[in-house]
Structure 1
Amino acid sequence: MTPDPLAPPGDLLQQPFTPVDPARALAFDDVHRRYPALAGFRAGLGRTTLLDVPSVPGGARIVAKCEWENPVGSIKDRTAYALVADALRTHGDRPAGELRLLAYSGGDLAAAMSSLSTVTGVVTRFVLASFSPRSLLDTLESRGCPVDLVPKERGFLFTIRTAQRIAAEEPGWTLVFQHANPVNVAMHEATTGQEILADLGDRRPDLWLASIGSGGTLIGVLRALRARFPEITAVGVTPAESPYANPDAPSGQQTYEGSGGHGHGIRQPFVKAYDHVISAHEHVTYPDAFRAMGEFFDLTGVRIGSSAAANWLVAKQYAARMPASSLIVTVFPCTGSPEQWAELGR
């Protein structure tokens, strides 16, 4: 395993995670009173469809949470709300203009946080990899959000390290660290996970699987499902080009969106805390995920992003090995970018 030469002292990316009570972590009533538009955004979150999706003949049934139905269009709307509300709670009753947030993102978090920037008046700066689609960069520019682009060849870990360096060198910026803030997991436990339980009704899920970005969705939902179904199996999905706990330096290869290991043996803190619970980690190449976007659209007429497509591919692999009476639950985080769909010709 090669050590990460850019890891700062007390690296948040390598600190242990301890879950917190969602009711306490998400107590944002005072923030809502000061920022009614943020309360309105929260009211529009969630209640997304749990959709039956194509499985394999004779295999387990697959259902997926359709997170593009959130206000800005992805599962990161939930995370962005919790992170911004938490930052405003810490900021207290000082003017919003005195708070300047700095966030790293693979794409969807930036879109969601930039929307919240416009309704709260909080300036938000983003560190993104240079593979970010033009449509996203145009959106961020239109919302007045500064962007620092880092070379895509350095991998997503370098995006995180760049944000950490900026925060250390420019103390006027408050770093929003999605990989370590417990409100990330709490939000998915209290909303995404609870919604899935309500949508399931009297059905019993056998397997929960999700792609790992920060790990907030995988672990938050897992905590909610295990509270009712302690025997449920959990599987993490990451790109084959950048697998979870990869011991080598990041390769910089293109991966499916919003997910991936960091390299140098670094494991996402939320997931590392549950390594003893997660039964397997599966890997999907970018070309396979990209092709599956088109395949799913041809079958259903529904657009899904590449991380959703990766989840679907792995779900089908497990469905083929499980009886038809079994139920697999997964999540479709977003619909993908206009650039991807143009390349697919759909």
Structure 2
Amino acid sequence: MTAVARPDIVERIGQTPLVELKSFSTKNVKFFAKLEWHNPFGSVKDRAAYWMIKDAEKRGVLKKDKSIIIEPTSGNTGIALTGIASALGYKVEIVIPEKVSEETKNILRHLGATLHETSDDLCPRVGAGTDQSIALAKAISKPRPDIYYMPNQYENDANFLAHYESTGPEIWKQTNGTVTHFLTGCGTGGTITGAATYLKEKNKNVHIIAVQAQKNHLLQGLRNFEESSMPELFKRREKVVDEWMTATNKDSFDAVRQLVEKESMLVGPSSGSVMTSMLKAAQNLKSGVIVGIFADDGRKFKSLYTQENVLSEQEYDRALKNAKHMSKLAYSL
């Protein structure tokens, strides 16, 4: 059965909680997680999706009862676009890698998306000969610009503006301007460049750390910039990044388990990547306020976690039952 979101649900996008990870914090170094799964469709991508749709409406390229939105995505952007589009009265087609979790694909179908699957890696690659999802989305949309609209999160400045205008200001306000380090996983580059640009304008000394995945990774939503070219959106403001870290599958999954055990928090794999990078960043700090973006929770990843021995089925079910800071999402999991 297809779910149709209420039009007013878009009013719940943003203003996500910032929580201290007290089992990791010390007297002088504080760890905070920005819980983006409290957005109505469950991830940080709700922000970019909404900003891109509203921008397209303003420019007149997206028309009610006529336009179909099509986008290549590894999951969260697709979920956000489909949920928001259904609330606003648009149809959506998603081009998605086969390797994406079945839970993610089922949510997309439940929200009403038509799926086109490719043999791409988890995050559609950018670059000649490797961008099957992107190429297919363009092949479908280009001949019919009167019907299809492709937001193209990899180039769309509305993706950047979403985080410059919402995520960055929220973090600054929630930390009372005390944030010293900001980390997030990187795919399109919208989150890190948008939030970081705002934070740097408030305090040029905020240290910005970009987290990429290892090569041939299992970290849905992240990319490795040796395997895949940096998206145009990221290239425009790449200099805002002060430091790069590479998160491995193992370290990221270990952090997922640590968060279950120490914080009763069930997170997605990209959040595990950010957590392990936050711990690395803190190793040589005498004092600081470290803020990481936790892009989504772990409800879409039971099959991945059991398959990769991150958590047994029983451990996963127990973690889900006891999880703190969960949100009642707009879609049924």
**Partner Cα separation in structure 2 for residue 299 and residue 279 of structure 1:** 30
Work out whether 1:126 is the aligned partner of 2:101.
Answer: no
Tell whether the 8 Å contact from 1:305 to 1:333 is kept in structure 2 after alignment. Answer: yes
Residue deviations 1:283-339 (CA, integer Å, cap 9, x gap): 01123212321221111111111111111101111111111x211111101113143
Work out whether 1:86 is the aligned partner of 2:55.
Answer: yes
The residue identity in structure 2 corresponding to 1:136 is T
Q: What fraction of aligned residue pairs are identical, expressed as a percent? A: 20
Structure 1 position 124, deviation (Å): 0.8
| Moved >6 Å (runs of 4+) | none
Q: Could you say what the CA RMSD is over the residues aligned between the two structures, in angstroms? A: 2.3
Q: Which residue of 2 aligns with 1:194?
A: 169
Worse-superposed segment, 263-272 or 185-194 = 263-272
**Partner Cα separation in structure 1 for residue 273 and residue 171 of structure 2:** 20
Q: Which residue of 1 aligns with 2:179?
A: 205
Q: Which residue of 1 aligns with 2:32?
A: 63
Q: Which residue of 1 aligns with 2:75?
A: 107
Structure 1 position 263, deviation (Å): 4.8
**Partner Cα separation in structure 2 for residue 62 and residue 269 of structure 1:** 31
SS at match of 2:150: strand
Worse-superposed segment, 144-153 or 325-334 = 144-153
- In structure 2, runs of 5+ residues without a counterpart are 126-130, 317-333
Q: Which residue of 2 aligns with 1:327?
A: 289
**TM-score between the two structures when normalised by the length of structure 2:** 0.82
Residue deviations 1:70-116 (CA, integer Å, cap 9, x gap): 1111111111111122222233795x121111111111111111112
Q: Which residue of 1 aligns with 2:272?
A: 309
Structure 1 position 131, deviation (Å): 1.1
Work out whether 1:162 is the aligned partner of 2:136.
Answer: yes
Residue deviations 1:200-233 (CA, integer Å, cap 9, x gap): 11x5222111111111110111111111111211
SS at match of 1:178: coil
Aligned length: 296
Q: Which residue of 2 aligns with 1:226?
A: 200
**TM-score between the two structures when normalised by the length of structure 1:** 0.79
Worse-superposed segment, 278-287 or 310-319 = 278-287
Tell whether the 8 Å contact from 2:122 to 2:221 is kept in structure 1 after alignment. Answer: no
Cα distance 1:234–1:167, how it changes in 2: closer, same or farther (>3 A)? same
- In structure 1, runs of 5+ residues without a counterpart are 1-35, 242-252
Tell whether the 8 Å contact from 1:59 to 1:320 is kept in structure 2 after alignment. Answer: no
Work out whether 1:177 is the aligned partner of 2:155.
Answer: no
Tell whether the 8 Å contact from 1:209 to 1:330 is kept in structure 2 after alignment. Answer: yes
**Partner Cα separation in structure 2 for residue 153 and residue 93 of structure 1:** 29
